Structure 1
Amino acid sequence: MPHDVDVIGIDASKKDDTHGRRSAPSLDVLEAVWTTEPVARHEGRHYTFPAAHIGPKPLQRLRPPIYLSGFAPASRRRVARRADGVLPVAVPVRGSAFDPAAVIDQPLREVRRLAEAEGRDPAGIDAILRINPTTESTVPEIADIILRTGDETDVDHVFVDFVHLADQGVDQALELLRQTMELSR
């Protein structure tokens, strides 16, 4: 399965931050679509569209919460300026210990510090842990990450992203999910 940036024509191997430079205009477009009617015309380097009626609008006011990954310094600054939270990622790898402080606490502290420097309330920034299992990941490893996140951090939400297991089929992904939920209750 191709990576998201490959699908939209970005060479992820380049260190030119093309992905990052598209993020702010993407957020501008989403906010316009979610909050204005009709949506104003937009002409930009990466996105152009005419004024249009776009619906339905989200039920959340003013908009749905926005969570962005924050791996690089520039992306953490972007989270601090524009997002409601950060999406740290855990990849269960056999024989490797999950470190909640390194994966969740440190990035969240950094983003909150940056948000405060931007004049935002740091308490308004939270995190949702994304777990990306691979074909090598085991159910006990995934469940351990979920349980330790709940026990050792302030994070209340975790989601398991099965995108890297898509080639395994829906039935296998659902079975992995069922087993993970059973072990992590």
Structure 2
Amino acid sequence: MAGNKSLNDEALELRRRGGRWLKALRESAGLSQRDFARLIDIEYYTFISQIEIGRGRIPTEKYAVWAKALNVDVNEFIVQVLQYYEPLIHKHLFSGKVSAPVSSEAKVDQNSYLALKNEIRELQRLLGKKTLENELLRERLSQRNIGLPQMVSPTPALAAADNDAAEISGDGRTTKQRFEDTSA
């Protein structure tokens, strides 16, 4: 019997806190109890008063109506109301330890998504690498076609890739010659 009294006291205290929360929402919406009762189509404003002092509960079928009248997201409103009216259910649903069940299709879709995302990253990496290689090859080919020595590349990436050295083809022999940038 003593255990039930303790539970009843806790439940009453939670309802009182919930009532204070609802009153604060109503007042922040600029509504009197009478105006709010009219807005949610309740005949007696004293019903609002009873809920705000913790002696009554919002009927579950009216949660959405109350949320809309108080300009609050319905889902957020229900989560808060459950905290005050059904603390055990709230604890099990929103403790963070348990998540909503995920269908096997959603798991497959998520796994496919992650695999594709990783594949895209790898392709982007390879594409960047190939683009740099192509740039280097074009530069070398253009230098050979016009018969001029390759100059130190103006871009740091190309200079690093070339190692600041150019291949000069002359009489059939290939030699390495270093050129310094004297423009500075």
TM-score scaled by structure 1? 0.22
Could you say which structure has the higher helix fraction?
2
Larger Rg: 2
Q: Which has the higher contact order (CA 8 A, sep 6+)?
A: 1
TM-score scaled by structure 2? 0.22
Could you say which structure has the higher strand fraction?
1
